[in-house]
């Protein structure tokens, strides 16, 4: 089958994607060590590395948000129902029968409807949950001065921060799996490395 290449992912977009991925994976590794799941760096070192990575990721997100709004790329995440059912059917049944992918990416529409919902969920739910609970976790010593110690519980902050981490891990696993569903098993990964997407 003949294929064409289209330029989908810009240079900063690829830098932002891979930097974010590395920081999130590293934060999962250090975060679960802080949680007591295993010992790799040692508790104190893991806390320091986790905190440094969090500040780096916040800085990266600030630049990414600025870039998305100044370039108009934020429009890529607006939810749409166009081809929604076709995508659900493809991922649930069609992909296992060798069906043709119902969505073709373009420079103006990079993400299919389910991707848009998933990324929006990360941006509006998982991200804020992790940042808010992480903030209160980090500045626990200031709760009294802020006047929040009477109704905030460190146990619940820790619970929701860990829940957010598991949600992010679930997203990461699903995201990596779905990168294999392109024109070839590695075409989506190549596209995020080179910027060029292969389409039928």
The full DSSP string for 119-137 is HHHIIIIIHHHHHHHHHHH
The token duo for 94 is 């069609």
Alpha helices in the chain (DSSP H): 11-34, 43-71, 84-92, 113-121, 127-138, 143-146, 154-178, 187-194
Count of structural domains, the chain: 1
What angle do the packed helices 84-92 and 113-121 form, to 10 degrees? 90
What pTM value is reported for the model?
0.89
pLDDT at 51: 96
Smallest CA-to-CA distance from 64 within 3, 107, 21 is with 21
Smallest CA-to-CA distance from 175 within 132, 96, 121 is with 121
For the stretch 146-187, pLDDT in tens is: 999 899 999 999 999 999 999 999 999 999 998 888 777 888
Between 127 and 3, residue with greater pLDDT:
127
For the stretch 23-81, pLDDT in tens is: 999 999 999 999 899 999 999 999 999 999 999 999 999 999 999 999 999 998 888 88
pLDDT at 200: 66
Residue 96 belongs to a domain with what CATH number?
1.20.950.20
Place 82 in a pLDDT band, splitting at 50, 70 and 90. Answer: confident
pLDDT of 105 > 60? The answer is yes
Domain range for 40 is 4-199
pLDDT at 179: 87
Smallest CA-to-CA distance from 81 within 116, 110, 107, 108 is with 116
């Amino acid at each position: 089958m003949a294929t064409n290449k289209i330029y989908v992912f810009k240079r900063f977009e690829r830098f932002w994607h891979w930097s974010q991925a590395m920081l999130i994976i590293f934060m999962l590794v250090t975060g679960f060590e802080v949680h007591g799941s295993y010992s790799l760096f040692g508790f104190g070192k893991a806390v320091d590395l986790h905190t440094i990575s969090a500040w780096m990721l916040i800085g990266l997100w600030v630049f990414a948000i600025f870039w998305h709004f100044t370039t108009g790329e934020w429009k890529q995440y607006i939810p749409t129902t166009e081809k929604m059912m076709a995508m659900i059917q493809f991922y649930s049944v069609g992909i296992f029968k060798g069906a043709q992918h119902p969505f073709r990416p373009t420079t103006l529409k990079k993400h299919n409807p389910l991707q848009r919902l998933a990324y929006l969920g990360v941006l509006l739910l998982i991200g804020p949950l992790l940042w808010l609970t992480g903030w209160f976790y980090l500045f626990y010593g200031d709760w009294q001065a802020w006047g929040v110690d009477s109704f905030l519980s460190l146990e619940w902050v820790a619970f929701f921060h860990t829940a957010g981490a598991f949600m992010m891990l679930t997203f990461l696993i699903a995201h990596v799996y779905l990168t294999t569903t392109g024109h070839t098993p590695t075409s989506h990964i190549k596209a995020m490395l080179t910027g060029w997407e292969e389409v039928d």
